[in-house]
Amino acid sequence: MPIQLDDLTALSSAPAVKALTPKYFSSELTGSGKGVGLLNKGVRPGSYPLGSSRATMSAADVTTKTKSTGSSVTKFTVPLHPLAQYSVEHNAAKGLSYAVPFDTDRFEVTAHATALDFDVFLDLTPQGLTLHKDESGDKIVKDLNILYRMEIYVLAKNSGSDRVRMVSTAPPKGQSAFGAGDEFTMARWSFAPLDDAQEFIKDATQWLAARAAGVFVDTDELAEWMTNYDVHERICRLAAVWEGEEVADLLSQHISDLFANGTPDSTTLNHLAIQLRYLETYNISLSAYRAIHTTINSVCAPDVANSLSKQNLNLLMSHTLEHLSTMKGQLSVPPAGQSTNWVMPAHFSAQQRAAISTPEPLTLVQAGAGTGKSTVILGRIQHLASQGVNPADIAVLSFTNAAADNITEKNPAVKSMTIARMIHDIYSLNHPTHELSSIDTILNSIEIYFPTSDIGRSFRKVMMEVDKLSAGSMTLLNAFVEKYQTEVLEMLNRIRQTCLELEIVIAYQQIDTMIEPPNVSSKFLIIDEVQDNSIFEFIYLLKYVAKHRENMFIVGDASQTLYEFRASNPKALNALEESGVFSTFQLTTNYRSNQEILDFANVHLADIEANLAAQLRLQANSLLVPTATSFREKVKLNYLHYQRLTEFRGDLPSHIAVDVRPYIEASLARGEQVAFLAYSRQEVAIIEEKLQQMFPQEAVANLVSSRVYPTTVFSQYIKLFWNDVLQVDPADAAFVIHKGINDNLAQLTRQADKAAGAVAKMTSEWWVASAPDINGWVGLYQHGQLSADAFFERLQENVLGYEIRHNGIKQSLMNQKNRERKEKNLNAKGKLVVSTIHGAKGLEFDNVVVVHKYDASMKEADKRMFYVAFTRAMKSMYVLSYGTVPKPRIESDYELIVGALEKRDALTTLRDQGVDTDALSDDEVEAAIAVMMAASSDASVEITITDDQATEALAGFTEAIARLEAEAEGETAGDGPNPLADASAFTAAAA
């Protein structure tokens, strides 16, 4: 029986609704809104800094989130408003409407001009900001500049309008009265409104000179208004707009206005396309995206809606989902009749059975940790087969090779692979000359083969963004490849390379024409760990299913999303559920852990945004009810308060040797396994070393995968030094390359010192491996059968080809080695295991020690990661938490769980003694519990209660008994036992 989280959250000091701070936009924007921090309550719109002016601080759009470092200064640009500057500026003459600001926000320019028949208001909206961080001195100096959209609203006197049209220049107005039809707004951008606002007001109202005495701006009042303008609060408001549904209203209004008179011109459409891409800067809820998509569909012609939807992956997902929904009736479903004797094993739960046997064509199983997702997939395969589906028509797509191998082992007839493998197989069949390569080698190769091509240059730029995993980069790549498909493919054909990112984009765009190998074809597609697929992979699969009219059964847990950096979206599953296109099933019974561990995990699960919609809560498959004592036994929390986080690592070995030692020894004494899970590889290595020292007789299994870094020294050498090679005789060229790479290493790689040995080995290997080919070409050249140009061209291709193959082989060897090592370590069932949390995904252990870095404002990605760690233990868990906060929430949450359990324990005791606790008021129950605790002889209950408190509590309880007795006397005695007799006995005993 899980404890009720609602009770805990009600008790908890943490706010139920997450307060949004400027950190939403950038972690650089410190400040809680109080007096401290970079963006605090004291920040006000101001003047140009000394030595700057409008000319030097041009209000160029802050439309992309960037970070660039030069010497010791880092510059950040951070967009803030969901409507980018160009969207407002370029459409200013189109009469789009904008909301009039509230009285409490705006500055009334004409407050004292009672004779006028119109009012003029000014408001400011933060559009974006720039931040310079100078780390050259002893102290970091930060310089923050906020770009404001200055807005003037000219409204008829006492106007009730809530929206007005925007103009680019103030319309001339004659002597006739100013009416509602004359109202307008204007916008201009400035980093220093205190300097620029007055002139803007003048420009916006100059037309009045002809009919009135002009608008007088009281600069003192304006300055005072700005003194009260709370930048921090305005930025928090903008965060709420992005985060909530308001962003959808804002964009829907913008799009509807643009299409009010039919399809706008192509420049306007281009601006809208960029605006839609700009939305990917921050995480917008998928329901907001659905609303925007609905607007696009309702106001745009189908072809325009189609191309606009491609500008943003989340819109594209809505678009693809909608298309799939229209053809739901045509998708494969399991045949109705039973064709084999397979009977669903009795141990499957009702929830699992329902999901496994669903006849629906599109199914989503949202399941918590340890609830049997992998088990359900195996059950689904057997169920489909039992209905007469040919196993060869079933394909299971997993996230890792290990998971895919596991399916193959159990069901050899079923197709099982990773998504990347499926896409690679399809792609390679259609582009057989492209070898899988690294983005860096591709970048160098484009530069080598297409040094003067503009499209090549743009292509490189886009690929660099993809490599940096910048927000929106996959959308950009998709748009680029769509626009320049012929040129991109020509380039890839020439360099004979591709990468996973290009494969998925090209496979998506050519899905209708690409031929597919038989090893991927299926009619029933099952996808595991769907939360970790990138949105692009997911969109591809939706389209693939539509193309082949397949049945789709997907399983995932949004709260366990670990690979957000691959552009997976933890909220994507919720969007799928909300879309109504998929039939949804939930699995909540956890078969792995005891309820004590799940009570602790549930508190953390409740705090994960991705779980807001699904509201999963884990319940153990056991009738045992945890008590406060059993909870303290099975879940231990040791919080270590540090002034500086960096000190923790140095102390980690002694914490393991002293604090955690009894826990480890007790587990080993029971013959059980203990796994140590930490975020960083470094922490894992420290723990491993310490454990080896402490327990030399135990083998410590390390599950951390080794990483390989692709080399680019060869392609980099060609790019920078090929001219040197061209100067020598072909017979000497190989020697020159070998020597050139080793001699110029500092210019070829940033880690020249570290890499020197490996590069020397690599270049020698290349020389030896390529010697037969190169010597053959030299011979041909010397006999006049090959020109020098042709020789050097072949040589260049050979060197580049070596780099590509070397990287590919290194990666696949490392994957193989990692897989084998992990398998060996797991199979060896060693008693001590160390792993990163990522490496322990999908695994379970008897006992787990989690190294937990506490952060009061933890990022969602980290919350999900620790949730994965908190759900790996079967029997017990030790959380070694550290942080700079003296009284962290993890500790108070722990105490809340203990408190709630103590309360429940006491109530259970009361009920066991026959007290009808439902008949007592809350105060009376509390009083009774306090008495019980005071009387408790259980030393592990660390509740301190003073004598006075006990006397008071006892008095309250005696009063309650008296009241119940009085009530009972007035009523007809029932048939059941009289609870009061026992209760009185209990009071007496307690006294």
244 has binding-site annotation: no
Q: Does 369 bind ligand ATP (CB under 6 A)?
A: yes
374 has binding-site annotation: yes
Q: Does 370 bind ligand ATP (CB under 6 A)?
A: yes
Which stretch of DSSP H or E encloses residue 159?
A: none
285 has binding-site annotation: no
Number of residues that bind ligand ATP (CB under 6 A): 18
Q: Is 862 exposed, middle or buried (0-12, 13-18, 19+ CB in 10 A)?
A: middle
Which stretch of DSSP H or E encloses residue 394?
A: strand 394-398
In this structure, what token pair is assigned to residue 491? Answer: 């380039």
d(CA 977, CA 30): 63
Binding segment toward ligand ATP, per CB under 6 A, in 142-150, 344-352, 571-579, 935-943: 344-352
Q: Does 822 bind ligand ATP (CB under 6 A)?
A: no
Rg (CA), the chain: 34
d(CA 376, CA 598): 21
Could you say which of 311, 371, 702, 715 contacts ligand ATP (CB under 6 A)?
Answer: 371
636 has binding-site annotation: no
| Smallest distance, ligand ATP to C-beta of residue 345, A | 8
Asked if 650 and 644 count as a contact pair (C-beta separation under 8 A), the reply is no
State the amino acid at position 746 in one-letter form. A
Q: Does 570 bind ligand ATP (CB under 6 A)?
A: no
| CB neighbourhood size of 73 (10 A) | 14
Helix (H, G, I), strand (E, B) or coil at 896: helix
Nearer to ligand ATP, 352 or 715 (CB): 352
Strands (E), 538-690: 551-556, 583-587, 589-590, 619-620, 635-641, 674-678
Could you say which of 130, 716, 871, 881 contacts ligand ATP (CB under 6 A)?
Answer: 871
Q: Does 283 bind ligand ATP (CB under 6 A)?
A: no
990 has binding-site annotation: no
974 has binding-site annotation: no
Nearer to ligand ATP, 400 or 892 (CB): 400
Nearer to ligand ATP, 206 or 619 (CB): 619
Q: Does 703 bind ligand ATP (CB under 6 A)?
A: no
| Smallest distance, ligand ATP to C-beta of residue 958, A | 49
d(CA 926, CA 942): 17
Which stretch of DSSP H or E encloses residue 636?
A: strand 635-641
- In angstroms, the Cα distances linking 562 to 679, 841, 844, 861 are 12, 9, 17, 7
| Smallest distance, ligand ATP to C-beta of residue 379, A | 9
Asked if 386 and 394 count as a contact pair (C-beta separation under 8 A), the reply is no
935 has binding-site annotation: no
Could you say which of 97, 145, 253, 349 contacts ligand ATP (CB under 6 A)?
Answer: 349
Binding segment toward ligand ATP, per CB under 6 A, in 362-370, 511-519, 713-721, 726-734: 362-370
| Smallest distance, ligand ATP to C-beta of residue 386, A | 18
Q: Does 842 bind ligand ATP (CB under 6 A)?
A: yes
| Smallest distance, ligand ATP to C-beta of residue 591, A | 3
Backbone φ and ψ of 935, nearest 5°? -85, -15
Strands (E), 44-140: 66-70, 73-79, 97-99, 107-108, 118-134
Asked if 287 and 575 count as a contact pair (C-beta separation under 8 A), the reply is yes
Q: Interface residues for ligand ATP in 581-600 (CB under 6 A)?
A: 591-592
| Smallest distance, ligand ATP to C-beta of residue 366, A | 11
State the amino acid at position 725 in one-letter form. V
Nearer to ligand ATP, 458 or 621 (CB): 621
Could you say which of 112, 347, 457, 824 contacts ligand ATP (CB under 6 A)?
Answer: 347
| Smallest distance, ligand ATP to C-beta of residue 375, A | 4
Could you say which of 280, 440, 501, 557 contacts ligand ATP (CB under 6 A)?
Answer: 557
Nearer to ligand ATP, 31 or 368 (CB): 368
Nearer to ligand ATP, 762 or 868 (CB): 868
Binding segment toward ligand ATP, per CB under 6 A, in 106-114, 276-284, 373-381, 423-431: 373-381
Helices 401-410 & 788-827 angle (0-180, nearest 10): 60
Nearer to ligand ATP, 836 or 871 (CB): 871
Nearer to ligand ATP, 349 or 357 (CB): 349
828 has binding-site annotation: no
Q: How far is CA 770 from the centre of its chain?
A: 45
- In angstroms, the Cα distances linking 978 to 626, 932, 942 are 28, 20, 33
Asked if 594 and 620 count as a contact pair (C-beta separation under 8 A), the reply is yes
| Smallest distance, ligand ATP to C-beta of residue 851, A | 19
Which own/partner contact pairs does 240-243 have at CB distance under 8 Å and 24+ positions apart? 240/20, 241/82, 242/24, 242/82, 242/282, 242/284, 243/20, 243/24, 243/284, 243/285
Nearer to ligand ATP, 532 or 537 (CB): 532
Binding residues for ATP: 367-374
> Which residues form the interface with ligand ATP (CB under 6 A)?
347-349, 352, 367, 369-375, 557, 560, 591-592, 842, 871
